[in-house]
Amino acid sequence: MNSEELKALQAPLKDKYQQQPDAAVVTLRAEGNLGEGIACSVDTGRALVEAGLHPATGGDGSQACSGDMLLEALAACAGVTLRAVAMAFGVDIRSGKVIAEGDLDFRGTLGVAKDAPVGFREIRLTFKADTDADQATMDKIITVTERYCVVLQTIRNAPPVVVKRRD
C-alpha cells in the first residue's frame, strides 16, 4: 500500500465520520475465560492466549503476563500508527523496531509495601527505523504517531473504567 492508496481507503470513512459522528464510535470487546489454577484465557481473534502470574509474583513463566500484553499492545499500536503516518508523509521505512518497556515494582502488586504503586511506574517507547528520511522528518512522524496511537493516548489520558459484576 502507498500513500495514495491509504488516502483513498480512508477518505470515505473520514467523510462519513464528519457527517455522522456517531458512526465513528465503535465498541471493541475482549473476553477472558477463567481457566485452571490462576489463569485466564483471552481469544485474540487470531490466537488463544493464556495469561497467568508473572514469575516475580509466583508464576512459572509458562503463561503470558498481562503487563507484557499491555506493552505488546502499545508496541503494536505504535508500530501500525508509525507505518500509516510515514506512508501519509510519503516516507519509506524499510524496516525498524518499536520497543515498549515498563518498570513494575511487584511489592505493590503483592501488597508488600503500601507506598509501592500497583502498575507501571514508567513506560518508555522507542522507535528505530531504517529509512532515508532526515531526522527532522522522522521527529515529525514520531510526534504525529504519538498523537494518533490509540493505546498510547489511552494510557496517557486514562478514560473512566466502570467495573461491575454480572451473574
Ordered mean pLDDT values, 10 residues apiece, the chain (167 residues): 88 91 86 80 86 91 92 95 94 93 92 92 94 97 97 97 92
**Can you list the domains of the chain with their CATH numbers?**
32-64 (no CATH), 65-158 (3.30.300.20)
Q: How confident is the model at residue 44, as a pLDDT?
A: 83
From the list 52, 65, 81, the residue with the least C-alpha distance to 146 is 81
Beta carbons of 64 and 50 less than 8 angstroms apart: yes
Q: How confident is the model at residue 139, as a pLDDT?
A: 97
Residue 35 exposure: Cα atoms within 13 Å on the Cβ side: 15
Q: How confident is the model at residue 151, as a pLDDT?
A: 96
Stated pTM of the model: 0.88
